[in-house]
Structure 1
Amino acid sequence: MARVVVMTSLRLTLLSFTALGFAVAAPGLAMAQEAPPVSDPAAGQRPPVIVPAQPRQSHPAHLPPAQTDPSADPAAKPDATSPAEPEDGEPATGEAPLPPPAPVIIPIPAVWAPAPRDAEGRTAYGLYLAGRNLVARSTTGDGDGALGAEYLASVQTLTPEQPTVRQQAFTAALLAGDLRDAARMAPSGPDIPPVLSEAGRLVQAIEAYAHGDARSATAVFKAQAIQMPHAAAGLLTQRWIAAAAGDWDFALIGPPPTSNDTFSQVLRFQRAQLLEMHRRYDEAEAEFKALSATPTAQPPFHSGYGAFLERRGRKAEAIAVYDAALAANPDSALLQAAKARVSRRFGRAPAMPTFKYGVAQGLTLAASLAADSRANEFAAVYLRMALDVSPSDDLRLLLGGALVSAKLEAAARDAMAPISPRNKSAYAAARLQIGASLGRDDRKDEALVEFRKAFAAAPDSQDIAYALATQLLELKRNDEALVILNGPLLNTPDQPAAVHFVRGAAYEASGKIAEAETELAAAVADQPNEPAFLNYLGYLWVDNGTKVAEGAALIERAHAAEPNDGNIQDSLGWAQFRQGQYDVAVVTLEEAVDKEPANAEINDHLGDAYWQVGRKREAGFQWNRVLTLDPDAERRASVEKKLAEGLPPQTPVTVTAPAPAATVGAEP
């Protein structure tokens, strides 16, 4: 059955309420050990839609003062001269009974007079604007999303009658990870979109469980199953929480026996684990065995069954399960680790999972499903809930990746920052990701500091060494970059093309053109269709005037592969310029500037092309534009000279026939 995905961005919901919105390269979430990848629940597995119960009453402390009609006092007693009401309730005079009073509707004030203020004297207006601004700017690293969420929560407390404020404050608290406030402010009612109302019910359940109230959490699930778009998160957590509450009947409800999709199998796997915890070993084994009946079943099912057998003292059977599974999945690290553990002479069987582990695992799976559907805000929210239930450095790394994918760079760095150096592998991975995030925010020096921390924690990591060398090159610290690139960690016989490429770029930046050509040619030979490699080597040849025709051919291949890349188009235009094709170069470079308007080099090239076709005023405009784009000192001096003196006549490079394709990296 085709997977149906119903995902709505939490941030888009917030955007619809505000004038200031959020902006919407980390890979998808890694799977945790004891769970296979899953798809969205099949239609038959989704909980039925149930008419929502009446919205629960707000806490009295959050209710605004009642407003009364000045023309009528409902609390007034009957006038002493009025006829007494008969005891049977019939009207004394035979008149028709009075209609019931109209319900009191508390209006939302158009203007507060005076404006509500908090204990520090800050107005609701000011807090609202400041909070909304901070949340919006947090996507660029220029704001504090957590502080913005705090301000909006304060506004909600000051103005509980404002439904829009409540929804904004709830959404901001979720994204910032303030789950306690989010649970308190969870919006409910028939007019609330499910993306918010169901998130509110889910966070209330998870928060109750995380703080020791499994029964209240279970009551949320039993009153009404969590609906889409958060149904998967509800289904993957509710049985563990029910078991923690002692409600084993609810915990052990299985999916329909006819369901065999991956999601249903995951629910069955959870049920098998809980059956074992409830000491119903025969039923647990039947489930485990059915799930791992074929060697091609998901590795976690084999691992789970083997672990069950180990705990039952049946080591030989566990080894047989692992061996059969490894024959079909020889690269599974999970199965390899299980086989190594059980093969040790005094290897101990793995402990049964705890309830908290099961809840956190379910939320991690839900996050993976959301990430696969590109609902990265949902993934981040689920992982924040998982951290609240069972904190771990692995979860912090996953949360950081989800926030990066959601374009919440500052929040991602904050999520990974607490990882301690004592956990060296997680610390190194976190510092690597924080450095990459700072680099994306153009905080290059800070990024270098983080890469150095990562390398100090993991000095044998080729990935971290490569990232550090690349950052050094970005900061024009070419000699330092070459020390790492030429060291034994990266300069190996089987080094990847990317290392050749960065080493070539470092040599080129150091003026060592012959060495640069050798390294860049090696990169192109290894990956002959990689546009970045083709463009860099081609531009080097064109700019130096050594192999203009060959370089132009490489650039044309790069441009054909990436026609929307402004930098490659600049290279193509410059190749045309160097060959004296000035009219064509103008058109090409104008298109390149349209794609990369803030690139100083491309604007400089377009100025040169304008000059050569006699459009000298436009050339001057482009060169002046370059000076506003923070060029390096060498380019600034060159442009200032051109503005003062113009360009001398150009001598086009003589074009010779390009070398055979094989010599410039083309595939045979």
Structure 2
Amino acid sequence: MTVSVAALIVASPALAQEVQPVPAPEPSQVPLIRMAPAEDEQVEEPQDQGEDGEPASTELPPEPVVAIPQEWAPVPTTPEGRSAYGYYLAGRSALASGDTQQGAVLLQQANRLTPEQPRLREQAFTAAILAGDLKFAAGIVPDAPGVSPTITEAGQLIRGIETYLADGARKANRLLAERPVEMPHDRAATYAQVWIAAEAGDWNRALAAPPADFDPISTLVARSNRARLLEIRRRYEEAENEWKELTAHAVAGSLFRLGYGEFLERRRRGEEALALYTAAIQAGQAEPRIYLAQQRVMNKQRPPATLRYREGVAMSLRTAADQMVAQNANEFAAVYLRLSQQISPNAQTQAYIGQTLINGNLPGAGRAVLAEIPPSEGPLYANARAQRGMSFDKSGMNEEALAEFKLAAEAAPDDAPIVYALANMLIKMERFEEALEILNGPLLNTADQIYEVRFMRGAALEAVGRRAEAEAELNAALALQPNEPSALNYLGYLWVESGERVDEGIALIQRALAADPEDGHYLDSLGWGYFKSGKPEQALEPIEKAVAKEPANAEINDHLGDVYWALGRQKEAGFQWQRVLTLDVDDKRRAEVEAKLKDRLNQLPYDRVAPAVVPATQP
């Protein structure tokens, strides 16, 4: 079972402070997965430095990196007449659009035509990793002088795994022993190699103690692998000693209870395993699999078998990916997950790859991976579609996001978070009636519904003009979370705008601002409350601050124009109203602002003023 190191670091700050984290690439290093550089991008090669910070001298200077020439004479082409230039530019374009598979294929073609070009080789290598074509990547590992270890060591790890898959454990074990994978991929390689060594019969290497320079978390993970391999070797007493020490760890012990419990089950010590699982549940430290394990023991079902060697290699790489995700090194995680998927394909790892690529600022690649999860995967398919929806939403692609949320909801109609996400997307697109139909449905409109549903329903009701119902929902939301600033501001602004309960509205808005004094929307609400209560002088400062924080918000700029007008600052009012018309403004507000410009200042919007006619010059 995968040890969730990511969960450990997030949930256990004490251990996180103790740990020396696995190094992620330094800013000066070449990213492992990246887009091809722009035509005019200047890429500086990293330099080694001496102790005094100056570049270190060497007896033999490195071979110069040959730049991709501005012109080839003749231009390298395929027999069909397709040029290296064309493949290179088309590959970059495909990667930029998120089509990683096509981008990798095109850059591979360019690399085949120009194998002497190191920079293009790097780009073809990283594109192949991104697309999951690890066999091709293993065959073109860049190893020229000056190439970052981030890339070269990833290449050696990929070589080792590809050798394992193609030629077996013995050859892979020999390759990784003769040329060990070094920083920054040494931990992932160590986790995987002990399983490869065991399969190859090299038990000295398989059961060796973790390297002395490993950080505390990596040491614990390595020891859990050792415990599993000791069990396979039938050295049960040593295996149990490892598990006992792991589960006794003051902070990380909960991570290893499932592994120890499964060991006990296989040793026909079900009562001890049950006590371990029950203690974890009672302490509030149980993951879902522990509940399943508890039921399995109580029902006297067969315990899970020991991992096969290949499963152990795949599990180890997923665990290494967990570490990288916890440290926000998503590029590394994506590589390890790709390798794990090559060894033991499953939809769960596929989903993990997609999420990791999205988190690593490669949304197109991540969405493409998630799209490959078939409907037959049920809840996992629904989750993948929801992840795609969130990614499209973040990219401002509303229609695409809505389509994905609908697919997710169709696949999992009883999944409240997914249905809630669909309603949220509809509200964002101002399709309030459709959103209300979902929010009022039996899945979300329950006796114990959460604050978020109440608040969202209140906002939708207000948007369609059902104010009394909106107030009731917002009050119900505040009953659940009395100090939630969003609801305080929303209800307060509703009262201010209606002009009926202005002072009460201001009081709610002030409570929202106390929770978040820098929020531009709350500042605008407060200023507008003062304006509506006939105090434009008091309104000026908070609304000016609001405009500074939300300069593209049409409503806030409109409010500032109204305040300026009330203070007799007509030119500034006109400027603000003209500015409103340059922003993303709805038809209703546009008509109102244009009327103010015409009736109060006798102005047309700037974009409707006819250009001055310049008289022709007489000869």
TM-score (norm 1): 0.75
Asked if residue 274 in structure 1 is aligned to residue 229 in structure 2, the reply is: yes
Asked if residue 215 in structure 1 is aligned to residue 175 in structure 2, the reply is: no
Q: C-alpha deviations, 1:187-222, integer Å up to 9, x for none? A: 224422221221221222223334454334323421
Equivalent in the alignment of 2:218: 263
Q: C-alpha deviations, 1:405-452, integer Å up to 9, x for none? A: 222222222121122222222122112222222222223233223222
Q: Which amino acid aligns with 2:150?
A: V
Q: C-alpha deviations, 1:436-477, integer Å up to 9, x for none? A: 222222232332232222222222222122112212222333
Equivalent in the alignment of 2:207: 252
1:24-423 residue pairs with structure 2 within 5 A? Answer: 108=67, 109=69, 111-135=71-95, 137-138=96-97, 143-255=98-210, 261-292=216-247, 298-329=253-284, 331-345=286-300, 347-423=301-377
Q: Is the 8 A contact 2:63 2:145 kept in 1?
A: no
Q: Is the 8 A contact 1:608 1:647 kept in 2?
A: no
Q: Which amino acid aligns with 1:334?
A: R
Equivalent in the alignment of 1:60: none
Q: Which amino acid aligns with 2:107?
A: L
1:277–1:467 CA distance, 2 compared to 1 (3 A): same
Q: CA deviation at 1:341?
A: 0.6
Equivalent in the alignment of 1:534: 488
Equivalent in the alignment of 2:389: 435
Q: CA deviation at 1:390?
A: 1.5
Q: C-alpha deviations, 1:547-583, integer Å up to 9, x for none? A: 2233233334434443444333433443344344445
Asked if residue 3 in structure 1 is aligned to residue 20 in structure 2, the reply is: yes
Structure 1 CA distance for aligned equivalents of residues 31 and 126 of structure 2:
10
SS in 2 for 1:357: helix
RMSD: 3.4
1:513–1:201 CA distance, 2 compared to 1 (3 A): same
Q: Is the 8 A contact 1:149 1:176 kept in 2?
A: yes
1:635–1:389 CA distance, 2 compared to 1 (3 A): farther
Q: C-alpha deviations, 1:146-196, integer Å up to 9, x for none? A: 433333333322222222222233233323433233222322244222212
Structure 1 CA distance for aligned equivalents of residues 467 and 532 of structure 2:
19
Q: Which amino acid aligns with 2:342?
A: D
Equivalent in the alignment of 1:508: 462
Asked if residue 459 in structure 1 is aligned to residue 478 in structure 2, the reply is: no
SS in 2 for 1:452: helix
Equivalent in the alignment of 1:474: 428
SS in 2 for 1:422: helix
Structure 1 CA distance for aligned equivalents of residues 393 and 65 of structure 2:
51
Q: CA deviation at 1:523?
A: 2.2
Unaligned runs of 5+ in 2: 1-17, 42-61, 603-619
1:313–1:422 CA distance, 2 compared to 1 (3 A): same
Structure 1 CA distance for aligned equivalents of residues 251 and 118 of structure 2:
51
Q: Which amino acid aligns with 1:6?
A: P
Q: Is the 8 A contact 1:611 1:619 kept in 2?
A: yes
1:284–1:130 CA distance, 2 compared to 1 (3 A): same
SS in 2 for 1:209: helix
Q: Which amino acid aligns with 1:127?
A: Y
Asked if residue 547 in structure 1 is aligned to residue 564 in structure 2, the reply is: no
1:258–1:160 CA distance, 2 compared to 1 (3 A): closer
1:208–1:598 CA distance, 2 compared to 1 (3 A): farther
Q: CA deviation at 1:325?
A: 4.4
Equivalent in the alignment of 2:610: none
Structure 2 CA distance for aligned equivalents of residues 499 and 107 of structure 1:
60
Q: CA deviation at 1:585?
A: 4.5
1:552–1:287 CA distance, 2 compared to 1 (3 A): same
Asked if residue 18 in structure 1 is aligned to residue 37 in structure 2, the reply is: yes
1:134–1:419 CA distance, 2 compared to 1 (3 A): closer
Q: Is the 8 A contact 1:299 1:332 kept in 2?
A: no
Structure 1 CA distance for aligned equivalents of residues 65 and 510 of structure 2:
68
Q: CA deviation at 1:385?
A: 2.0
Residue from 583, 589, 592 that aligns with 1:638: 592
1:356–1:625 CA distance, 2 compared to 1 (3 A): farther
Q: Is the 8 A contact 2:280 2:286 kept in 1?
A: no
Q: CA deviation at 1:228?
A: 2.3
Q: Is the 8 A contact 1:189 1:197 kept in 2?
A: no
Q: Which amino acid aligns with 2:163?
A: A
Q: Which amino acid aligns with 2:72?
A: W
Q: Which amino acid aligns with 2:496?
A: V
Structure 2 CA distance for aligned equivalents of residues 517 and 490 of structure 1:
19
Higher alpha-carbon deviation: 586-595 or 375-384? 586-595
Equivalent in the alignment of 1:71: none
Unaligned runs of 5+ in 1: 23-102, 649-668
Q: Which amino acid aligns with 1:233?
A: A
Q: Which amino acid aligns with 1:254?
A: A
Q: CA deviation at 1:294?
A: 7.3
Q: CA deviation at 1:616?
A: 4.5
Q: C-alpha deviations, 1:2-33, integer Å up to 9, x for none? A: 424421278757779824799xxxxxxxxxxx
Structure 2 CA distance for aligned equivalents of residues 131 and 390 of structure 1:
29
Q: CA deviation at 1:532?
A: 2.0
Q: Is the 8 A contact 1:296 1:325 kept in 2?
A: no
Structure 1 CA distance for aligned equivalents of residues 63 and 552 of structure 2:
59
1:158–1:243 CA distance, 2 compared to 1 (3 A): same
Q: CA deviation at 1:350?
A: 0.8
Q: C-alpha deviations, 1:252-274, integer Å up to 9, x for none? A: 21226999934222212111212
1:457–1:157 CA distance, 2 compared to 1 (3 A): same
Q: Is the 8 A contact 1:360 1:386 kept in 2?
A: yes
Structure 2 CA distance for aligned equivalents of residues 107 and 441 of structure 1:
38
Q: Is the 8 A contact 2:436 2:457 kept in 1?
A: yes
1:542-621 residue pairs with structure 2 within 5 A? Answer: 542-582=496-536, 585=539, 588-621=542-575
Q: Is the 8 A contact 1:175 1:377 kept in 2?
A: no
Q: Which amino acid aligns with 1:247?
A: D
TM-score (norm 2): 0.81
Q: Which amino acid aligns with 2:119?
A: T
Q: Which amino acid aligns with 2:599?
A: E
Structure 2 CA distance for aligned equivalents of residues 380 and 273 of structure 1:
25
Q: Which amino acid aligns with 1:482?
A: L
Q: Is the 8 A contact 1:17 1:164 kept in 2?
A: no
Q: Is the 8 A contact 2:149 2:183 kept in 1?
A: yes
Asked if residue 493 in structure 1 is aligned to residue 512 in structure 2, the reply is: no
Tell me: higher relative CO, structure 1 or 2? Use CA pairs within 8 A at least 6 residues apart.
Answer: 1
